[in-house]
Amino acid sequence: MGFDTAYRAIAEDSDDQRWAFGTGFTGPLAGVDQALPDGADGLELGAYCLMLGDDALVMSHRLQQWLARAPELEEETALANIALDLLGQARLLLTRAGQADGTGRDEDDLAFGRAGGEFRNVWLAEVADADFGGLIARLLVFSTWRLALLDGLRASRDPVLAAIAAKGVKELTYHRDYAAQWLLRLAGGTDYSRARIVAGLAAVTPLINELFTPTDTELGLSAAGLAPSPASLRAEVTAVLAHVLYPASLTPPQPGAGAPAEPVAGPSSGGRHGVHTAAMAELLDELQSVARAYPGATW
């Protein structure tokens, strides 16, 4: 029973596993060696995978909210692609988290079965965008930071994290270029578009310090050669942002400059500790709505 194309195979085949793309998933790490590297603490590694996975999942959901709202069809396609890349990263990272911490929770358990206080994403990923200028400013900072992070993570002693990072670097390079080019276009457009990007940068500025504030988990993994230290990423992120903003005659964000919303850098505050903004509850209401209405549903 040969099929000329997969579309025909899907259309003609009655196997309900295959009624549409993206259904009938097996775990995204099926067949990948799940062993932990020597000396790695599974709980710590799992907690770290959860942080990076939640950053990607939550940012992806915020980007998806732009679909049908973007200024042009091309930008909608771009945002959907970026969201899909991040969702792919989230699926692998959440799956790895459930393997490494020994709980056996799968990607769906983690994405749809946790309360807000159990999510470990940074605030930058969860806040809503006031407008397209706000989105571009946030996407530029997020993708610049995540690209630097994944670039450092390529050297991780955990082969699964290193592999996810190596692949993610290629994807994030496109995301960062996209955001940087749009920032220049808005900054050099009309007075109105420039005002929007200036406001967007001001809105994300208070959220930047959290990106470089390490938790004990990150410090431990960094010392064990499993992850880059968050603080080590600051120089590259600052340099890239300055490189983008300089030709636009914009001032790079000055983290810590009089921002009331700034998470207090400390041992128990911020998204990495499960403390979130009000925007997170609204986001999870939507993200988890189907799973809450139909617990255990499969399709």
Partner 1 sequence: MSVDLARARELAGSVPDPELPMLTLDDLGILRDVTAAGTRVVVSITPTYMGCPALAEMGADVARRLAAGGFAGAEVRVVIAPPWSSDWITAAGRRKLAAAGIAPPGRAPRAAAGPVPLTLTAGRTDVTCPACGSADTVLSAAFGATACRDLYRCRACREPFDHVKEI
Of residues 6 and 281, the one with the C-beta less far from partner 1:
6
Binding status of residue 50 toward partner 1 by CB under 8 A = no
Of residues 186 and 276, the one with the C-beta less far from partner 1:
186
Q: Based on C-alpha coordinates, what's the Rg of the chain?
A: 20
Binding status of residue 279 toward partner 1 by CB under 8 A = no
Binding status of residue 63 toward partner 1 by CB under 8 A = no
**Cβ-based neighbours of 58, under 8 Å, separated by 6 or more:** 119, 121, 125, 126, 280, 283, 287
Q: Where does residue 297 fall: left (phi above 0), alpha (psi -120 to 50 degrees), or beta otherwise? A: beta
Binding status of residue 178 toward partner 1 by CB under 8 A = yes
Nearest distance from residue 101's CB to partner 1, in Å?
Answer: 20
**Cβ-based neighbours of 114, under 8 Å, separated by 6 or more:** none
Binding status of residue 187 toward partner 1 by CB under 8 A = no
Q: Which stretch binds partner 1 (CB under 8 A): 45-53, 161-169, 270-278, 280-288?
A: 161-169
Nearest distance from residue 292's CB to partner 1, in Å?
Answer: 24
Binding status of residue 139 toward partner 1 by CB under 8 A = no
**Cβ-based neighbours of 11, under 8 Å, separated by 6 or more:** none
Taking alpha carbons only, the member of 221, 240, 242, 241 closest to residue 230 is 221
Binding status of residue 84 toward partner 1 by CB under 8 A = yes
Asked if residues 198 and 166 have their Cβ atoms less than 8 Å apart, the reply is no
Among 11, 19, 23, 223, binds partner 1 (CB under 8 A): 23
1-7 contacts, C-beta under 8 A, 24 or more apart: none
Among 86, 137, 204, 208, binds partner 1 (CB under 8 A): 86
Binding status of residue 69 toward partner 1 by CB under 8 A = no
Binding status of residue 30 toward partner 1 by CB under 8 A = yes
Please give the helix or strand (H or E) that residue 44 lies within, else none: helix 42-64
Taking alpha carbons only, the member of 220, 272, 254 closest to residue 53 is 272
Nearest distance from residue 213's CB to partner 1, in Å?
Answer: 21
Cα separation of 54 and 95, whole Å? 11
Binding status of residue 173 toward partner 1 by CB under 8 A = yes
Asked if residues 136 and 71 have their Cβ atoms less than 8 Å apart, the reply is no
Cα separation of 107 and 97, whole Å? 9
Binding to partner 1 by CB under 8 A, coded x per residue (else -) over 196-215, reads --------------------
Binding status of residue 114 toward partner 1 by CB under 8 A = no
Residue ranges in contact with partner 1 by CB under 8 A:
1-7, 9-10, 17-18, 21-26, 28-32, 74, 77-78, 80-82, 84-89, 91-92, 147-148, 151, 159, 162-164, 166-174, 176-178, 180-181, 184, 236, 239-240, 243-244, 247
